[in-house]
Structure 1
Amino acid sequence: MEYGNKLVSFPYIDTVDRPKEKQALGQKVAKLAENGQVIGAGAGSSVLVAMECLAERVKAEGLSVSVICGAYETRLTAARLGLTVVSLLEAKPDWCFDGADEVDPEGNVLKGRGGALFQEKLIISSCAKRYLLADPSKQVEKLGSRFPVPVETYPEALSLVAEKLAELGASSISVRPAAGKDGPVLTEGGNLLLDCRFAVMDPTLERNIKAIPGVIESGLFQGYNFIRL
């Protein structure tokens, strides 16, 4: 039985830009799907477009595919498109796909403008094969060139975490403000996001940030060997 109310709108989905580059990447993702697979999906506009392409193929070919979603927006999109949604408690993804805010020459990635970095990293860490949806505009010489490094932080640990981040070389640390409400951004886990600028992007920075008590996760994805589509 299905709910009869079809009046709920999803403005964030309906207003997503769908340029040819994103559509092309989405089609590549859809072609990777095989019957019976569990697929991990991250967050962001490129992921939402890819989900639409995946759903079209699943419906057209009658494939049995399940998805594990890295954000509420991704989960709602999957449900709206008629895809079967499962969790990491139930299944391990055969492969996953995600977008990026920045990609450096070594294939390291900066993510987290949408605030779902913790869930995304859980999915990515669960997969042996990880596909990255990133057009040439996301390429940078050094991570942090365009965006600060987001650090998801337990609220009561804010002062401690900020002090330790400064010791790691953060030159500026700011609590990310919300755009649609008063106060700070809260992640899907109810935590704060600290946006940090680092002059030096050390290969061990992700690990060192994660070792700070009170840090839930960072937006650095170093050494994950993404396959760039």
Structure 2
Amino acid sequence: MLLGLGTGRASEAFIRRLGEQVRRGLQIQGIATSERSEALARRENIPLVSFEQIERLDLAVDGADEVTPDLGLTKGLGGALLRERVVAYEAERFIILVTPEKLVEKLGSRAPIPIEVVPFAVPTVTRHLAALGGKPTVRKNADGFPFQTDNHNWILHTVFGPIDAPAALDADIRKIPGVVDNGLFLGMASAVLVGEPGGVRELTRQR
């Protein structure tokens, strides 16, 4: 089986559990969505491949920052949204792991929308996002310097508040020159697994 390995706390827990199964004989290969997840997978002795070696993934497993009833997602607070989207797009199924507090009625209700931007364009993209009603701030490391993605871009954490029309906002953001990707993942999740005290609840998209 070919697996996409996500980024963030939920994904790291999944990778560690997957490593246990690999040591017991499970035959899988993975593609990681970040250098951090790749390093963890290597420590867990999970065989890794690249898209130069394969064409499609059987399954991608990742976390999310928000999930709506129609399985719209906010992702990217882990700083890996672009690679997460590539891996999810190339997977036959895309499964999301969350805890109950991530469930919201509207995206933007509890988390900013991460927007990956070419550093040169940060000032202009900031102005355009403000014109769309957003309040963007540059994500920074603990040392005060801008956070850089594995692709050497910056991230603007942009607060929009609850978003009434996420598809329209997604389209408007993508029109801005210098934007590489944004954290609105719409119509991509196959299912969401919600870890609750009594067990795991599965959410599927209503057809």
List alignment gaps of at least 5 residues for structure 1. Answer: 1-36
Summarize the alignment of residues 1-150 of structure 1 with structure 2, pairs less than 5 Å apart.
37-60=1-24, 62-91=25-54, 92-150=56-114
* Equivalent residue in structure 2 for 1:193, among 146, 149, 155: 155
* 2:175 corresponds to 1:221: no
Summarize the alignment of residues 158-177 of structure 1 with structure 2, pairs less than 5 Å apart.
158-170=122-134, 172-177=135-140
Q: 1:198 to 1:75 in 2, by over 3 A?
A: same
1:76-133 CA deviation, whole Å, 9 max, x = no partner? 0110000101112222211101001111122111111111111101001111211010
1:167-189 CA deviation, whole Å, 9 max, x = no partner? 3221x11111212x331111111
Aligned-pair CA distance for 1:159: 1.9
Aligned-pair CA distance for 1:150: 0.8
**Higher normalized strand content (fraction of residues):** 2
Residues paired across the two proteins, number: 190
Conserved? CA contact 2:140–2:146, under 8 Å: yes
- Counterpart CA distance in 1 for 2:94 and 2:128 is 31
Compute the TM-score of the two structures, normalised by the length of structure 1. Answer: 0.78
Aligned-pair CA distance for 1:211: 2.5
1:186-219 CA deviation, whole Å, 9 max, x = no partner? 1111111111111462222223212221111111
1:62-86 CA deviation, whole Å, 9 max, x = no partner? 2321000001111001100001011
- Counterpart CA distance in 2 for 1:175 and 1:168 is 17
- Counterpart CA distance in 1 for 2:33 and 2:99 is 21
SS at match of 2:48: strand
- Counterpart CA distance in 2 for 1:205 and 1:128 is 26
Q: RMSD of aligned C-alpha atoms?
A: 1.4
Q: Which residue of 2 aligns with 1:30?
A: none
Deviating runs (4+, > 2 A) in structure 1? 166-169
Question: Structure 1 vs Structure 2: percent identity of aligned residues?
Answer: 35
Q: 1:142 to 1:40 in 2, by over 3 A?
A: same
**Higher normalized helix content (fraction of residues):** 1
- Counterpart CA distance in 2 for 1:213 and 1:166 is 14
Conserved? CA contact 1:70–1:123, under 8 Å: yes
Compute the TM-score of the two structures, normalised by the length of structure 2. Answer: 0.86
List alignment gaps of at least 5 residues for structure 2. Answer: 194-207
Conserved? CA contact 1:104–1:141, under 8 Å: yes
**Higher mean C-alpha deviation, range 96-105 or range 194-203:** 194-203
Q: 1:225 to 1:137 in 2, by over 3 A?
A: same
- Counterpart CA distance in 2 for 1:98 and 1:83 is 16
Aligned-pair CA distance for 1:166: 2.4
- Counterpart CA distance in 2 for 1:192 and 1:115 is 9
- Counterpart CA distance in 1 for 2:118 and 2:81 is 14
Larger Rg computed on CA atoms: 1
